[in-house]
Amino acid sequence: MSIAAEATTAPAPLSLASWRMKDFDFGEGERTKAFDIDLGDWIGADAPGDIYLALAAASRIPDPFGDRAEADCAWVIDREWWWRTEFDAPNVRTDQRLILTFEGLDTFAEVWLNGERIAASDNMFVPLRLDLTGRVRAGVNGLAVSFAPVAKRVEGKPALTWPFAGDAISKTGRNLTRKAQFGWGWDWGPTLPTVGIWKPVALKVETKASLADVVFTTLEISPERDRAKLRIAVTADAFVAATLAAKVELTAPGGNLSAEQTLTLAGGVASVDVDLISPSLWLTPELGAADLYDLAVTLEADGAAVDARRLRVGVRTIAVDQSPDPDEPGATFFRFLLNGVSIFARGACWIPASSFVAAVDEPHYRKLLQLAAEANMNMVRIWGGGVYEHDAFYDICDELGLLVWQDFMFACAPYPEDDPAFVESVAAEVRVQIERLRHHPSLALWCGNNECQVIGAAVGARELAGDLYYEEIMPKLAAENDPTTPYWQGSPYGGPHPNSMIAGDVHNWTVWHGVPPVPVDTMVGQFSIAPENVAYTRYAEDMTRFVSEYGIQASPVMETLKRALPEDQRVYGSEGLQARIKDHPKNKVDAMLVTVTGLPTDLQEYVDFTQITQAEGLKFGIEHFRRRTPHCSGSLIWQLNDCWPGISWSLVDYYGFGKASYYYVKRAYAPVMASFKAGTDGAIELWMVNDHMAPISTRAEVAFASFAGETHWTKTVAVDLGPTESRCVWRGEAAGGAGDMITVRSADDAFPANRWFFAPIKDLERGTVTAPDVRFESGEDGALIVIIAASRPLWFVHLLVVDEAVRFSDNYFDLMAGETQRVVVTHPSRTLSEAHVTVRWR
């Protein structure tokens, strides 16, 4: 997405995709008949679309992501907005009806047809379906949607807040609205609460009946995985008496028809069970291919086709094993079983990919999710403060074999339980989202919320306002509408305390925020961020079952700062830079940096030092959590992406540039991974983990060397690992100092190289750093090969290209003395040359 600064010229003709909009004082729109007045000074807006983007395109506001523009946009949310368009009335026979569907209105909306108010909506996550049969007039019809200022709609409602000073919820009342919560500002995002028609609008003439629902379920997969039992259920909504049938066709990945049947619908419903022999299973990448079947359902009324739906579905079962862990008495597992196989979830948390959620399109999703898959991830968690993503998100996850942990959209707040309309609205939202998403094979878990229970416990709330949803409404609706997908009450949740390490999932914010998992006896807002409390080495104390959040903030690459900041603000400590840091205090990162790199003195050092600390810290954490397989069965990093060009915990920035951490994580998430761990009494241990379903046999070459280029000793270790096994494969003595390192590499490319330093980065004794020899060659299909040869060990070697579409076969790596690395640099459409690439190291 890009924001055009110049005003649009001739406005596009009005249609359900192309509207005009204008703002009014609250109530003024109706008084002045906004649905009828001249459109002369109204500005163009797309549906689905966003008010801020339309305003920026018409030069009414600056680019909202530009330097400190957030404040200039603050007026938008307090205005009443009207959107208008026109449509031609289609012909509607007596056995037909005319249905207008708004997939999503954000948020307090009223719909007007030819000047008459016909409907209202107050939950951006619930579609509005209107039957316009008999209500339209011949010829052109005027359609308008008005959006009231959110503050006017929460005015007078009792505030619901956490009992601690500095609580920002009461001020915004965000928790009294069913609207994306992050819009009111988060500790990684600006305050830009959206308004408008954020999802598609469609007008459809239906004949006799329509398909209300198609449900696809994998009921069972045999232990040998050679048979599967499926159920396909169809519900139709008939509005005239007719004989209904549904033609169901299931096509296997190779194109063969696996099942074909015509079902008679009695009372509008029918279902069929299908037994598949030798099914192509849907698997995560380390287990196999994410095979998809094509399900086509055609609804027939009195023998004629009247409606159709196509779904891409996967044959797979998903469950969460919470049985007792025999090796850690008192603890229970929290591990996903995919087709009965226990997997380690390697992934990250997802936040909306733009503050303007309407504008996130398929290519934007694909870019980010592809990056996640390329970083060896098999799960993403959609965090509860954003939105239920557009369909394309889940389609791409289905294709890539990425499991989705789906939070319901509740985050870090109490939610009203005593307002019947609110309760009803939540129930409708939960039902509709379950119905929309349940057929996706990527869907792994429904989760009640983000951090409501844990913050409630931390602030001593005796009864959590919101439990009605997490404990009653959501589990009931999930069991009724999607019984084969597991439900979990919150993230984190489980055990004697919501953030208990002996059960369920944990958010580890010891590192960064200074709040240890259990027991959480620190009040929110009184975090202890002394360097020794937040050091990333404290991940080693975490004996969690499944860590669903942990992270460290870092600056994006310099190119991103250049795009976001005017030249005079590209200075370490500038106001412009500070405005991109949303966590408090603004220098929180310093406590992380002092023990790792020391504090920066300029912007380039700020970029490098924060990126180094994030990368080293996440590597340390991932290695620890994966060594604990199966006692720990998941690592979801906070956070994969960004909603604007800011400074956050993301691995990939708003534009799509990976930080150093992205490449470190990619290596640490390799399905087969080798890591070192300090043993007791000066010993060092080499651990290996295998996430594949098949055993592996390989050789690990271990070397104890110095930065001066000396090799103290080398050793080859033969390694045999079973499926999903983690084990110490070698233990030895390596009394290294600040000038030494121990390295491991695979003799047969079975796992990425790794190393262990014996001192913090800032204390390493590396002697003189000698520049590498860099050569360029052209590779296949326009690729550029960069050959980097080091005569002395080099660290943090990285390649930069000022284009976020560029991919590197590896980046931000180390080189040993005498080592040469060939990096393949590719671009989807450009041929790259030497002039595009900068090579840096430290």
Q: Applying CB under 6 A, which residues contact ligand BMA?
A: 186-188, 383, 385, 411-412, 450-451, 549, 638
Helix (H) or strand (E) holding 212, with range, is: strand 209-221
Q: What is the DSSP letter of 139?
A: S
Q: What is the largest CA-CA distance in the chain?
A: 89
Listed in sequence order, the residues at least 6 apart from 249 whose beta carbon sits closer than 8 Å to its beta carbon are: 257, 259, 260, 294, 295, 296, 297
Own/partner pairs for 321-326, CB < 8 Å, 24+ apart? 322/494, 322/503, 322/504, 325/545, 325/630, 325/631
Residue placing its CB nearer to ligand BMA in the complex, 491 or 629: 491
Residue placing its CB nearer to ligand BMA in the complex, 643 or 761: 643
User: What string of DSSP letters covers 656-674?
Assistant: SPBPHHHHHHHHHTSSEEE
What is the length of the chain?
842
CA distance 613 to 591: 11
Residue placing its CB nearer to ligand BMA in the complex, 263 or 524: 524
In the complex, least distance from residue 666 CB atom to ligand BMA, rounded to whole angstroms: 22
In the complex, least distance from residue 250 CB atom to ligand BMA, rounded to whole angstroms: 39
Residue type, 778: S
The two tokens of residue 255 are 């194109």
Residue placing its CB nearer to ligand BMA in the complex, 373 or 511: 511
Residue placing its CB nearer to ligand BMA in the complex, 186 or 344: 186
Question: Dihedral through CA 347, CA 352, CA 358, CA 364, nearest 10?
Answer: -50
Listed in sequence order, the residues at least 6 apart from 415 whose beta carbon sits closer than 8 Å to its beta carbon are: 160, 175, 422, 426, 452, 465, 466, 469
In the complex, least distance from residue 819 CB atom to ligand BMA, rounded to whole angstroms: 38
Residue placing its CB nearer to ligand BMA in the complex, 187 or 391: 187
Helix, strand, or coil (residue 456): helix
Q: Parallel, antiparallel, or unpaired: how do β-strands 105-106 and 257-264 relate?
A: unpaired
In the complex, least distance from residue 187 CB atom to ligand BMA, rounded to whole angstroms: 5
Q: Could you give the angle at which helices 603-627 and 660-668 cross, rounded to 10 degrees? A: 10
In the complex, least distance from residue 383 CB atom to ligand BMA, rounded to whole angstroms: 6
In the complex, least distance from residue 498 CB atom to ligand BMA, rounded to whole angstroms: 12
The two tokens of residue 372 are 């996640």
Instruction: Give the residue from 237, 241, 202 showing the smallest Cα distance to 94.
Output: 241
In the complex, least distance from residue 351 CB atom to ligand BMA, rounded to whole angstroms: 8
Radius of gyration of the chain from its Cα atoms, rounded to whole angstroms: 28
CA distance 279 to 664: 36
In the complex, least distance from residue 558 CB atom to ligand BMA, rounded to whole angstroms: 24
Residue placing its CB nearer to ligand BMA in the complex, 505 or 616: 505
CA distance 715 to 45: 66
Helix, strand, or coil (residue 507): strand
Residue placing its CB nearer to ligand BMA in the complex, 383 or 393: 383
Residue placing its CB nearer to ligand BMA in the complex, 550 or 730: 550
In the complex, least distance from residue 494 CB atom to ligand BMA, rounded to whole angstroms: 16
Letter string b/e over residues 250-261, b meaning 16 or more CB atoms within 10 A of that residue's CB = bbbbeeeebbee
Residue placing its CB nearer to ligand BMA in the complex, 382 or 672: 382
Residue placing its CB nearer to ligand BMA in the complex, 23 or 451: 451
In the complex, least distance from residue 493 CB atom to ligand BMA, rounded to whole angstroms: 13
Residue placing its CB nearer to ligand BMA in the complex, 597 or 648: 648
CA distance 702 to 713: 8
- Cβ 590 vs Cβ 552: under 8 Å: no
CA distance 265 to 268: 5
- Cβ 399 vs Cβ 159: under 8 Å: no
Residue placing its CB nearer to ligand BMA in the complex, 49 or 504: 504
Residue placing its CB nearer to ligand BMA in the complex, 393 or 638: 638
Residue placing its CB nearer to ligand BMA in the complex, 378 or 450: 450
Q: Parallel, antiparallel, or unpaired: how do β-strands 345-350 and 634-637 relate?
A: parallel
In the complex, least distance from residue 370 CB atom to ligand BMA, rounded to whole angstroms: 24
In the complex, least distance from residue 411 CB atom to ligand BMA, rounded to whole angstroms: 6
In the complex, least distance from residue 348 CB atom to ligand BMA, rounded to whole angstroms: 12
In the complex, least distance from residue 556 CB atom to ligand BMA, rounded to whole angstroms: 17
Angle at 294 between CA 291 and CA 300, to 5 degrees: 165
Residue placing its CB nearer to ligand BMA in the complex, 147 or 469: 469
In the complex, least distance from residue 589 CB atom to ligand BMA, rounded to whole angstroms: 13
Residue placing its CB nearer to ligand BMA in the complex, 189 or 441: 189
Residue type, 117: R
Angle at 568 between CA 562 and CA 572, to 5 degrees: 75
Residue placing its CB nearer to ligand BMA in the complex, 29 or 386: 386
In the complex, least distance from residue 409 CB atom to ligand BMA, rounded to whole angstroms: 13
Query: Edge to edge, what strands does the sheet with 318-321 contain?
Result: 318-321, 335-338, 341-342
In the complex, least distance from residue 564 CB atom to ligand BMA, rounded to whole angstroms: 20
User: What string of DSSP letters covers 607-655?
Assistant: HHHHHHHHHHHHHHHHHHHHHTTTTS-EEEES-S--SSS-BBS-SB-TT
In the complex, least distance from residue 385 CB atom to ligand BMA, rounded to whole angstroms: 6
User: What string of DSSP letters covers 524-572?
Assistant: TT-----HHHH-GGGGGG---S-EEE----B---HHHHHHHS-GGG-ST
Instruction: Give the residue from 651, 684, 656, 825 showing the smallest Cα distance to 758.
Output: 684
